[in-house]
Amino acid sequence: MVDNYKDFNSVIFEDKPLFLKDKIKNSILNGATFTIKDNISIKDWQLSCASFTLKNYKSLYNATVIDKILNNGGVIIGKTNHDEFAMGSSSEHSIFGNVKNSSNNQYVAGGSSGGSAVSVALKISDFSLGSDTGGSIRQPASFCGVFGLKPTYGRVSRYGLVAFASSFDQIGPFSKTTLGLAKCLEVISGYDSKDSTSSKEKVPEYSKNIEKKIPKKIGIPWELIKEGTNKEILLKLDLLINFLKKNNFEIIDIKLPNSKYAIAAYYILTMAEASSNLARFDGVRYGFRDNSNDLESMYLNTRSKGFGDEVKRRIILGTYVLSSGYYDAFFKKGQQVRRLIKNDFENVFNNVDVILLPTSPTPAFKQGENLSDPLKMYLSDIFTTPVSLAGLPALNFPAGETKNKLPIGLQLIGNYFKEETILNFSHYIEKNFNFD
C-alpha cells in the first residue's frame, strides 16, 4: 500500500491495480479505471473506514460490487478517503486528514464520499464508487462538479459495504458524464443472495436506453427550496427551468410538506442504526484493541480511542434515542415521520415524472467553517435526506459554477426503480443546455 494522497488527500493507491485480464476485451467497462471508497471491501486491500479502529485492517473478501466491476472489465487502482464510517458532510472527519475540494483546496470536498468525487473531478480515475446514506454521493458530487448517483434502496447489493445505517445505505457511482453513471449502474445493480434487502427487479440496459424516453413532467418543490438556498444556486435552477419551459416540458409546483422534518428524522434514525451497527467494533472481533488489564477497561479504552468525535457523538445519541423511556418520543416518532415523507413522494409521483431541486443549499464551504457546529453541518443535508428516508433514486448533475469558481449541482429524484428516467433526463440536459 502506497500512502500517496496527492495534494488533495483523496486517493490511496495500491501497489498493483486489480483487474481480470481476460474480462477487459469487449466488455462494457472496457478497462476503465475505478477508485473505491474505503468502506467497501476488496480482498487483501485495506478497509479502514477512515477510522483508527480499522487502520490496519485488511478485507477478507470482495464486496459484490467489486466482483461485478472486475467481471465487466473495470480496473481498480485505489481506495478513496472519506468521513469516518461515512458519517459527515465535508470529509473532514478522517484519520487521513481532510479531503480538499478539487476546484479550490481551501474548501471542503463535501462528504462523506469526498475522495471519490475529487478522484473523478481530477481525472485520477474514470469512475469511483461511494456510498450514500443521506447524501454522501450526491453532495460531494455537487461540491466538486461531477455526476453522482444514489440508486433506489435495494437496487445495488450492500454485501461488503461496512454498515452505517443499514436501512438507508446504498452504493453508487461517480462519473464525469451521465453515460458513465449509466454504465456503472448497469454493472453494479441486481439481485444478490448475499444481501436480503437487494431487489429482484430487472436491471434495464441504462446506457443503451439513455436517449430513449425523456420525462416531460417536472416537479419543483418551491416551498422547500426557496428559504435559505444560496442565490447563485437558485439562479442556475431558474435558467434551467426557463430552458425547459421553452422546450415544452411541463413544470409543476409540488408540495413535500413533511420534508422539513427530514433532517431531524434522518439523524435520529441513522444514529440509532449506527449505534447498533458499530457495536461490533469492540476490540475483540475486529481491528484495534487497547491493551488493558481487565475486560471492561479493554472495551472502554478500545472504543474511546478507536472512534473519532463525530462517530462517538452518533453512537451516544443513537443509544439514547433507543433507550427505554425515550424510544417512543424519538425513534418511533422518527419512523412515523419517515412514513409521512415517503407518502408525500408517492403522492407527487402520481403527477410528475421527476423532481428537480438543488442538491445542497450552498456551494462548498471553507474547511473548518462548520466543524465546531454539528447542527449547522447537519442542516446542509436538507435536500438529500428526504430522498434517503423514502429510499428513492436520485442523482447530482453539474450546473455551472459560482462567481468564485465553485461548482454548483442540481438534483433529480425519480420514482422507485426509475433510475432510467433520471439518467435519460440528466443526459438530455448535459447534451442540450449550457449553464455558463
Residue from 133, 207, 367, 402 touching ligand GLN (CB under 6 A): that is 133
- 59 near ligand GLN, rule: CB under 6 A: no
Q: List the 33-37 sheet strands across, edge first.
A: 11-18, 75-80, 33-37, 127-132, 170-175, 147-150, 394-401, 407-414, 354-358, 217-220, 250-253
Residues 368-397: x where in contact with ligand GLN by CB under 6 A, - otherwise, as a string: -------------x----------------
Give least dist CB 16 to ligand GLN, A: 29
Nearest to 85 by CA among 277, 268, 287, 366: 277
> Which span (134-142, 187-195, 277-285, 351-359) binds ligand GLN, by CB under 6 A?
134-142
- 135 near ligand GLN, rule: CB under 6 A: yes
- 87 near ligand GLN, rule: CB under 6 A: yes
- 195 near ligand GLN, rule: CB under 6 A: no
Nearer to ligand GLN among residue 302 and residue 385 (C-beta): 385
User: What does the radius of gyration of the chain's CA atoms come to, in whole angstroms?
Assistant: 20
- 112 near ligand GLN, rule: CB under 6 A: yes
180: left (phi over 0), alpha (psi -120 to 50) or beta: alpha
243: its cell numbers: 430552458
> Which span (87-95, 212-220, 240-248, 422-430) binds ligand GLN, by CB under 6 A?
87-95
Q: Rule CB under 6 A: which of 142-171 touch ligand GLN?
A: 164
| Bridge-based pairing state of the strands 354-358 and 217-220 | parallel
- 362 near ligand GLN, rule: CB under 6 A: no
User: Residues 142, 145, 146, CA angle at the centre, nearest 5°?
Assistant: 90
- 89 near ligand GLN, rule: CB under 6 A: yes
Are the C-beta atoms of residues 143 and 98 closer than 8 Å to each other? no
- 10 near ligand GLN, rule: CB under 6 A: no
Residue type, 184: C
Q: What residues form DSSP beta bridges with 366?
A: 107
Nearer to ligand GLN among residue 126 and residue 381 (C-beta): 381
List active site positions: 37, 112, 136
- 134 near ligand GLN, rule: CB under 6 A: yes
- Secondary element (H or E) of residue 273: helix 262-277
DSSP output for 218-234: EEE-HHHHHSS--HHHH
- Secondary element (H or E) of residue 381: none
> Which span (82-90, 229-237, 298-306, 360-368) binds ligand GLN, by CB under 6 A?
82-90
Interacting residues toward ligand GLN by CB under 6 A: 86-89, 112, 131-136, 164, 270, 381
